[in-house]
Amino acid sequence: MFPRVLPAQLLFCYFFVNGMPRTASLYQFGPFQLDVAEHRLLRQGVEVPLQLKAFETLCVLVENAGSLLRKEDLLQQVWPDTVVEENNLNKNISLLRKALGEPATGQSYIETVPRVGYRFAASVTEIALNAKGPKPEGRPAESPARQEIRFCSTRDGVRIAWATVGSGYPLVKAANWLNHLDYEWESPVWKHWIAELTKHHRFVRYDERGNGLSDWEVKEMSSEAWAQDLETVVEAAGIDRFALMGISQGGAPAITYAVEHPERVSHLILVGAYSRGFEHRDNPEALKARQAFETLVRLDWGTKNPAFSFNFADLYVPQNATPEHQEWFNALRRVSASPENAARIMEACDKINVRALLPSVSVPTIVFHSDGDRAVPPDEGRILAAEIPNARFVPLSSANHLLLANEPAWGIFVEELGAFLGWQGHRRSH
């Protein structure tokens, strides 16, 4: 397994590197001041007592304000040379919440992301310190625009987590396998997508049923159910007319919605998508290989089997991927779905067949597909473009199913998408 690389954490008053003192910091948030140099937490000038490990946990959280920190990373940072149980971290978080007065202060400082980790949610200002004391040069800590995560319920009683961020003309992304609204927020695979799209749009996305922050215990898993999930989220978001994006598996519910509600969809964007699953592609050998992979998912999904981990990530991002990308995909398996749900979703994907709907798509459509895509064969993208009336096809020179920020195809995608959606001043990003 590839190691996760985090920024160096500042936990003590001074470090010496090559004989020179390293800068320490003073952090301000709400009525609190975290003085790393003096190892003190102050509230309006009055010291708040904290145990050593609770203080160090707070330092790591505050220094990374706005970012999700996984439990295993926090354990490694606070107990670098000791193997401890997760309960020790949970105890520290509980102590910190009491010390910060949640919810008495009216503000939640530490957010819990179920089954994943924690995020320091308050706005933080950092004031630099050196060996001679503080300097009057405060600066706000950089953090991305915050997404709002909410929940809605489908007709069959499934609770769906959805998120909105940014402003402007609405763009809705249909869920694709796999999602986790919170975990993907800072991910090397999705962060550049979110950043680019929120420059121009109110961006709405959601976790499909059985996955991410949505309900995991669900009876129905099917293309029809996914179309229902999309419709439910659109209604919950209160959107009348919008652009609709379907990536990979998300293409089928996006196509279904565009056919059923053409008056509400202004643009349809399909990326690495398909209209027919493995069971409908007339390729018995590919179907056998897929079914074998689904068996491995049930057996190795929650494990750290290095062979399975590499093959899983390599299927989606074989080109330009770094160890960070590989590790993110490996961790996504553990937080996004159970082995059984992951396999159920795959099996439902195999049964997708909305090809008969393609001639009925009446909204402006653009189809993107990587020419070396191994997760979804390029021919599936060509079928979409050929059978949707007046659809435009944009082949991308890439082997990646999900485009990464460090490849030329990403810049082409942004330029073509901007032209299609009418972004003002759009330009190619490399």
State which of 4-13, 63-72, 360-369 shows the largest mean pLDDT. Answer: 360-369
292: Cβ contacts below 8 Å, ≥ 6 apart: none
Q: Are residues 179 and 44 located together in one domain of the fold?
A: no
Last residue of a domain, one of 140, 173, 208: 140
Q: Are residues 213 and 355 located together in one domain of the fold?
A: yes
Torsion sign, CA atoms 170, 176, 251, 144 = positive
Q: Tell me how crowded residue 178 is: count the other CB atoms within 10 A of its CB.
A: 23
CATH of the domain at 317: 3.40.50.1820
Q: Rg of the Cα trace of the chain?
A: 23
| pLDDT score of 145 | 67
Dihedral (Cα; 398, 402, 404, 405), 10-degree rounding: 110
Q: Domain of residue 29: give its range.
A: 16-140
**Does any domain span residue 125?**
yes
**Does any domain span residue 6?**
no
**Collapsing DSSP states into helix, strand and coil, what is residue 327?**
helix
Q: Are residues 20 and 124 located together in one domain of the fold?
A: yes
**Does any domain span residue 314?**
yes
Q: Are residues 170 and 120 located together in one domain of the fold?
A: no
Distance CA 351, CA 222 (A): 8
Total domain count for the chain? 2
Q: Tell me how crowded residue 17 is: count the other CB atoms within 10 A of its CB.
A: 7
| pLDDT score of 107 | 54
- Cα–Cα distances (Å) from 6 to 23, 74, 189, 204, in that order, read 18, 10, 16, 29
pLDDT digits (tens, 9 = 90+) for 228-284: 999 999 999 999 999 999 999 999 999 999 999 999 999 999 999 999 999 999 999
Last residue of a domain, one of 121, 140, 159: 140
**Does any domain span residue 1?**
no
**Does any domain span residue 71?**
yes
**Does any domain span residue 429?**
no
Task: State which H helix or E strand residue 151 sits in.
Answer: strand 148-153
Q: Mean pLDDT, to the nearest integer, of 12-17? A: 30
| pLDDT score of 428 | 42
> Which residue matches tokens 């890439």?
398
Q: Are residues 123 and 92 located together in one domain of the fold?
A: yes
Distance CA 391, CA 363 (A): 9
pLDDT digits (tens, 9 = 90+) for 173-206: 999 988 899 888 888 999 999 999 998 999 999 9
Phi then psi dihedrals of residue 73, to 5 deg: -70, -40
Last residue of a domain, one of 99, 115, 140: 140
Q: How far is CA 106 from the centre of its chain?
A: 28
Dihedral (Cα; 374, 259, 256, 282), 10-degree rounding: -50
Q: Are residues 136 and 182 located together in one domain of the fold?
A: no
Under the banding of pLDDT at 50, 70 and 90, the label for residue 323 is confident
Q: Are residues 129 and 169 located together in one domain of the fold?
A: no
**Does any domain span residue 426?**
no
- Cα–Cα distances (Å) from 130 to 27, 63, 126, 391, in that order, read 14, 17, 13, 60
Mean pLDDT taken over the chain:
84
Residue 83, classified by CB atoms within 10 Å of its CB into exposed (0-12), middle (13-18) or buried (19+), is exposed
Distance CA 339, CA 344 (A): 9
Backbone conformation region of residue 39, classed left if phi is above 0, alpha if psi is from -120 to 50, else beta: left
Length of the chain, please? 430
Q: Are residues 39 and 105 located together in one domain of the fold?
A: yes
Q: Are residues 159 and 235 located together in one domain of the fold?
A: yes
**Does any domain span residue 136?**
yes
Rounded-to-5 percentages of helix, strand, coil across the chain: 35, 20, 40
Q: Are residues 158 and 121 located together in one domain of the fold?
A: no
Please choose, from the candidates 215, 191, 228, the residue with its C-alpha nearest in 3D space to the C-alpha of residue 68.
Answer: 191
CATH of the domain at 25: 1.10.10.10
Distance CA 66, CA 77 (A): 18
Report the percent of the chain where pLDDT is more than 90.
50
78-82, 224-228, 388-392: range with lowest mean pLDDT: 78-82
Q: Are residues 198 and 308 located together in one domain of the fold?
A: yes
Q: Are residues 212 and 292 located together in one domain of the fold?
A: yes
